[in-house]
A and B are shown apart, each in its own frame.
Chain A
Amino acid sequence: MSRIIKFATPPTLLSFSAVGGYEERRGPLGDRFDLTDPTEKFGQKTWECAEAEMSRLALNIALGKLGISHTELDLIVAGDLQNQCVASAIGLSSFGVPYLGVYGACSTATESLAVLSLFLSQNGGMGAAVTSSHNSAAERQFRNPIEYGGQRTPTAQWTATAAGAFLLSGAPTERGVRITECMAGRMIDGGTTDATNMGAAMAFAAADSIITYFEQSKRSPTDFDYIVTGDLGAVGTRVLYELLSDKYPSVIARHLDCGNLLYDLKKRDVHSGASGCGTSAAVLSTHFLPMLSRGEIGSILLLSTGALMSPSSVLQGQNIIGIAPAIRIEGVGLRKQPQNGFAGHI
């Protein structure tokens, strides 16, 4: 059995949005966010509530762009980094839409889009995938108090304060940006307990999923404009290239990592890059989906990467488990004719 699920009726992306914080606004994609709040509080009293508010705002903005009401949604698939995915629950409960919570650590953006696509391709209707993470909420839960003064290792990543919402329709369309395939990733031991080097731990899962996808799909990496990973960051990307350099140099040639795109790694104090499930949601929403909708690129393979661990599991000496689900996103009937032989490359 092939592990890749090819949708008979691929769901079409109707609208998308991104909400971000201070560092995200200052990043290279900053002006493409729909909404950013430099205080990162979004009018809330706590960081946890701020994250919940971000997912609510992201979904509201995506609905607003389409000019529809939340009552037209049949399902919300959402997740975040907080315990029991409570940010999604608190932020999205007021919509009164059936809900499936998913947790894949930082791979949640891809996971939620895959799960939603499975439902919509089977049942039709309209649904939303929402993903969020908040730097301060994550610091509090996984690391030290926010105002604690410590030096971060060069491998440490900066959890993004970002949320993304994606509205998908299961109705068949002639043209549009579609999710045509999905594949669950295997859980791969990251070979380390170092929670300040999660990019490296996740790279093994990313490599495993990439190799499996191209082996099973019989496609070539050249069929894609970009092969996009979630939040490997600078160090994780290096590990990925090390793993793929022999057999898949063509993957490396078209690889981009959302964790390296969200911030200016040289200017900002974010060390190895962005992490958190908001990273790939926001970069997808501000960078890749606009390019796909404008027809500048034809298709991408998105593999958000997750580090499955808890503060306790790490202290108890358990290795970090990496995961990387994949989805293929294609623009159908949108592609512009290439000019001068090139199209869509930044």
Chain B
Amino acid sequence: MQGLNEKEKSAIIKKCTPKSRVVKNTLSAFFVGGGICLFAELLRRLYIYLGESEENAGIFATLSIVLIGGIFTALGIFDRLARHAGAGTLVPITGFSNSVVSSAIDSASEGYILGVGSKIFTVAGPVILYATVSGVIYGLLYYIYLSL
């Protein structure tokens, strides 16, 4: 086996590796993700119906979805759903909620400062960092655009 070079090994691995089921995964992501967004939209309408302003209703709907994602994670339901839904639960803000709560649960045994405190954003960290960075870049471009 030392006779095989890396390319030959990769070719053999590729030949033997089953492909991800793209159609099935895409469809379940579409329906689960769409379902979550539909549910959030219903919540938004409910908040408006209850007398909130349009702007507040949107924020409350987002917060509700984050809360539900967190509770589902804590109950151990979220990961079972996500195994099949994939991007369907990851892309909406439920994915962000799950990544933070799951990290917190996981690191609780290591203490609240060096455990939860330092590890809560291990999964969500890239999103937070690069969302902030893109916000800064967008802000700069917008500022330049306005001053032209």
| Interface set of A (CB-CB < 8 Å, partner B) | 45-46, 48, 140, 144-155, 186, 188-192, 197, 200-201, 204-205, 207-208, 211, 235, 238-239, 242-243, 269, 319
Distance, CA A217 to CA B102, complexed state (A): 51
Closest to A45 in B: B109
Residue contact B1 to A204, C-beta cutoff 8 Å: yes
Residue contact B1 to A207, C-beta cutoff 8 Å: yes
Most buried by A among B21, B89, B99: B99
Closest to A150 in B: B82
| Interface set of B (CB-CB < 8 Å, partner A) | 1-2, 4, 6, 8-10, 12-13, 15-21, 25, 73-74, 76, 78-79, 81-87, 89-90, 95, 98-99, 101-103, 105-107, 109, 122-123
Distance, CA A242 to CA B18, complexed state (A): 14
Cβ-neighbour of A243 out of B1, B103, B107 (below 8 A):
B1
How near does chain B come to A142, taking the closest CB pair, in angstroms? 13
Residue contact B16 to A239, C-beta cutoff 8 Å: yes
Q: How many A-B residue pairs have CB under 8 A?
A: 111
Contact partners of B87 in chain A: CB under 8 A: 151
How near does chain A come to B31, taking the closest CB pair, in angstroms? 15
How near does chain B come to A105, taking the closest CB pair, in angstroms? 17
Most buried by A among B9, B74, B79, B90: B9
Contact partners of B76 in chain A: CB under 8 A: 147
Smallest CB-CB A-B distances: 10 pairs: A149-B82, A191-B9, A151-B86, A145-B106, A208-B1, A147-B102, A238-B16, A145-B102, A148-B102, A200-B13
Closest to B86 in A: A151
Distance, CA A188 to CA B84, complexed state (A): 35
Distance, CA A189 to CA B95, complexed state (A): 36
Known: A144-B102, A155-B18. 17 other contacts (CB 8 A): A45-B109, A145-B102, A145-B105, A146-B102, A147-B73, A149-B79, A150-B90, A151-B83, A151-B84, A154-B21, A189-B6, A191-B6, A191-B8, A192-B10, A197-B13, A211-B1, A242-B16
Contact partners of A242 in chain B: CB under 8 A: 12, 15-16
Distance, CA A107 to CA B115, complexed state (A): 31
Subset of 9 A-B contacts with CB under 8 Å? A146-B102, A149-B73, A150-B83, A191-B6, A191-B13, A204-B4, A211-B1, A238-B16, A319-B6
Distance, CA A152 to CA B86, complexed state (A): 9
Contact partners of A151 in chain B: CB under 8 A: 25, 82-87
Distance, CA A66 to CA B81, complexed state (A): 45
Known pairs A149-B78, A149-B89; A192 contacts B13 (CB<8 A):
yes
